[in-house]
């Protein structure tokens, strides 16, 4: 069932992003007087199509990994004399720049609208309150203490753990100190800490900012009660069900969820005798954790379960909500912040600060899309917005075959007064196809390795 949900979620996400991107090209092309021959969501054989009164064919094709807007162009075939004025290649260079840039701009607008809707609707999160500090960690050396709430990183507000992680990831490669601001309570004065770092998060795959910092988030006590039980996992095969309370392992009492997790992780492939409480009755279950190899080569046990959600005290809850006008500024700021983070991440990957194994392809996108959909509307819309920004940024990269590559050619044409020679464009196209193809293969390879 999870695979089907992931597939449906990724079809919805990619369908929306591709449609908005291509509609940006389509809308501006029409207003610049260019005849659009086909508007396709997906590649390959059309599954559905219709033709409007302007002669444009709208199609949904079989392969939902992209789309295109095919415009009338004399470089791609003969054009009737009466239609030559509607050909893309006959338009001014500034009109062509507007048409090409409209796709990525549409993606940024979609992200802005998504964030605006989230800010107006309001989101509830938990305050980033520190639980434990690892001894001799950067956090300990910087003076951070258990019970403090992290209110800012490098001067940027952090109302949630998600924001803390984003700000810490944005500092990848830092050397020297990170400024982390905390407070003891909502009424206490903020306190700035200088946390010493060296080659911060460099080449971590994936980046683990909180663990590297030495901070464990505060969480309410979690009893060893099962929440989600994955299909065909070792837990389900052993007969465990959602709502079961694990009271003992091999005769030793289980104090909380983490104690149970540690017993499972430390015993890959070894049969464990569980004492389980279900509907007030005690029963015994034999469970053998599967084995998963970690990055350091050691084996770890896992059984395919999640913990039952615990209630958070009201003092740890934070509601983020803005009025319609205030949300405009917040949405613009968030869109800009995530765009700059994406650009900076690409730069750091090129210079070797971020491992290329962090590249994600369709498999990872499908998994995250499914997870975000199961986590609720807020999570799904946030993922949609970030993916839309990523698509916009990637399409603006100066690589021939992408929108950014075409923009480079047109900007050169605007400066020198004549087009870039066709032979140069054709050579650049081959390079661009090779680069994009290589990136797609790398992303797919790392996707499969994550499985």
Q: Which of the listed CATH numbers 2.30.42.10, 3.30.70.3150, 3.30.565.10, 2.170.270.10 matches domain 226-308?
A: 2.30.42.10
User: Catalytic one among 5, 22, 154, 228?
Assistant: 22
445, pLDDT greater than 90: no
- From 371, 386, 357, select the one nearest 448 (Cα to Cα): 357
CB 129 within 8 A of CB 312: no
- Which three-class secondary structure state does DSSP give residue 51? strand
CB-neighbour burial class of residue 415 (10 A; exposed 0-12, middle 13-18, buried 19+): exposed
| Assigned token pair, 103 | 């796709």
Q: What is the per-residue pLDDT for 1?
A: 46
| Assigned token pair, 98 | 């507007």
Q: Where are the domains of the chain?
A: 96-120+326-451, 123-220+311-320, 226-308
Q: Is the dihedral of CA 155, 161, 163, 168 positive or negative?
A: positive
In angstroms, rounded to a whole number, what is the distance separating the alpha carbons of residues 356 and 346? 10
CB 449 within 8 A of CB 357: yes
Q: What is the per-residue pLDDT for 62?
A: 85
CB 373 within 8 A of CB 5: yes
Mention the CATH class of domain 123-220+311-320.
mainly beta
Q: What is the per-residue pLDDT for 314?
A: 83
What's the mean pLDDT in 170-176?
A: 93
CB 33 within 8 A of CB 85: yes
| Assigned token pair, 191 | 């306190």
122, pLDDT greater than 50: yes
Q: What is the per-residue pLDDT for 296?
A: 65
What's the mean pLDDT in 81-91?
A: 94
What share of the chain in percent tops pLDDT 70?
99
In angstroms, rounded to a whole number, what is the distance separating the alpha carbons of residues 187 and 151? 13
421, pLDDT greater than 70: yes
Same fold, 123-220+311-320 and 226-308: yes
The CA distances from residue 41 to 101, 260, 299, 362, 394, in Å, are 18, 48, 44, 16, 18
196, pLDDT greater than 90: yes
The CA distances from residue 355 to 79, 169, 205, 387, in Å, are 48, 13, 6, 20
Higher per-residue pLDDT: 5 or 59: 59
| Maximum mean pLDDT: which of 20-24, 234-238, 370-374, 437-441 | 20-24
Q: Categorise residue 2: left if φ over 0, alpha if ψ from -120 to 50, beta otherwise.
A: alpha
Q: What is the per-residue pLDDT for 293?
A: 80
pLDDT digits (tens, 9 = 90+) for 243-274: 999 999 999 999 889 899 999 999 999 999 99
147, pLDDT greater than 90: yes
| Assigned token pair, 77 | 């075939």
Say whether 22 is catalytic. Answer: yes
pLDDT interval class at 186 (50, 70, 90): confident
In angstroms, rounded to a whole number, what is the distance separating the alpha carbons of residues 393 and 402? 11
109, pLDDT greater than 60: yes
309, pLDDT greater than 90: no
pTM above 0.85?
Answer: no
70, pLDDT greater than 80: yes
Start-end of H helices in 266-361 = 324-350
What's the mean pLDDT in 189-203?
A: 93
pLDDT interval class at 125 (50, 70, 90): confident
What share of the chain in percent tops pLDDT 90?
68
Identify the residue whose tokens are 């659009």. Answer: 36
- Which three-class secondary structure state does DSSP give residue 156? strand
């Amino acid at each position: 069932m999870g695979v089907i949900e992931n597939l449906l979620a990724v079809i919805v996400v990619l369908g929306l992003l591709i449609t908005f991107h291509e509609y940006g090209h389509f809308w501006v092309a029409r207003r610049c007087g260019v005849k659009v021959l086909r508007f396709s969501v997906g590649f390959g054989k059309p599954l559905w199509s219709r033709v409007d009164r302007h002669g444009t064919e709208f199609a949904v094709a079989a392969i939902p990994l992209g789309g295109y807007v095919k415009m009338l162009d004399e470089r791609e075939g003969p054009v009737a004399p009466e239609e030559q004025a509607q050909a893309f290649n006959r338009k001014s260079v500034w009109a062509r720049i507007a048409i090409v840039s409209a796709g990525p701009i549409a993606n940024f607008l979609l992200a802005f609208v998504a964030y605006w809707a989230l800010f107006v609707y309001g989101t509830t999160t938990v305050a980033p309150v520190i639980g434990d500090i690892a001894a001799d960690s950067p956090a300990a050396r910087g003076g951070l203490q258990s019970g403090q709430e992290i209110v800012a990183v490098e001067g940027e507000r952090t109302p949630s753990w998600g924001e803390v992680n984003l700000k810490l990831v944005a500092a990848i490669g830092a050397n020297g100190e990170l400024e982390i601001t905390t407070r003891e309570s909502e009424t206490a004065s903020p306190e700035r800490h200088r946390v010493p770092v060296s080659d911060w998060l460099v080449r971590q795959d994936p980046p683990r900012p909180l663990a590297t910092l030495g901070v464990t988030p505060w969480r309410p006590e979690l009893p060893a009660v099962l929440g989600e039980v994955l299909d065909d996992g070792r837990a389900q095969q052993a007969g465990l069900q959602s709502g079961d309370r694990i009271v003992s392992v091999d005769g030793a009492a289980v104090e909380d969820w983490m104690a149970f997790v540690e017993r499972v992780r430390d015993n890959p492939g070894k049969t464990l005798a569980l004492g389980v409480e279900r509907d007030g009755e005690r029963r015994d279950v034999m469970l053998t954790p599967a084995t998963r190899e970690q990055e350091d080569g050691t084996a770890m046990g896992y059984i395919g379960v999640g913990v039952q959600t615990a209630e958070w005290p009201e003092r740890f809850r934070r509601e983020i909500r803005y009025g319609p006008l205030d949300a405009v500024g917040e949405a613009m700021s968030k869109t800009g912040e995530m765009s700059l983070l994406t650009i900076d991440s690409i730069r750091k990957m090129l210079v070797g600060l971020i491992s290329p194994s962090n590249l994600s392809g369709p498999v990872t996108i499908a998994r995250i899309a499914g997870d975000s959909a199961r986590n609720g509307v807020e999570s799904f819309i946030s993922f949609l917005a970030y993916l839309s920004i990523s698509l916009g940024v990637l399409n603006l990269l100066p690589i021939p075959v992408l929108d950014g590559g075409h923009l480079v050619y047109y900007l050169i044409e605007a400066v020198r007064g004549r087009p870039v020679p066709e032979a140069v464009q054709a050579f650049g196209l081959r390079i661009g196809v090779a680069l994009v193809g290589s990136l797609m293969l790398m992303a797919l390879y790392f996707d499969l390795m994550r499985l």
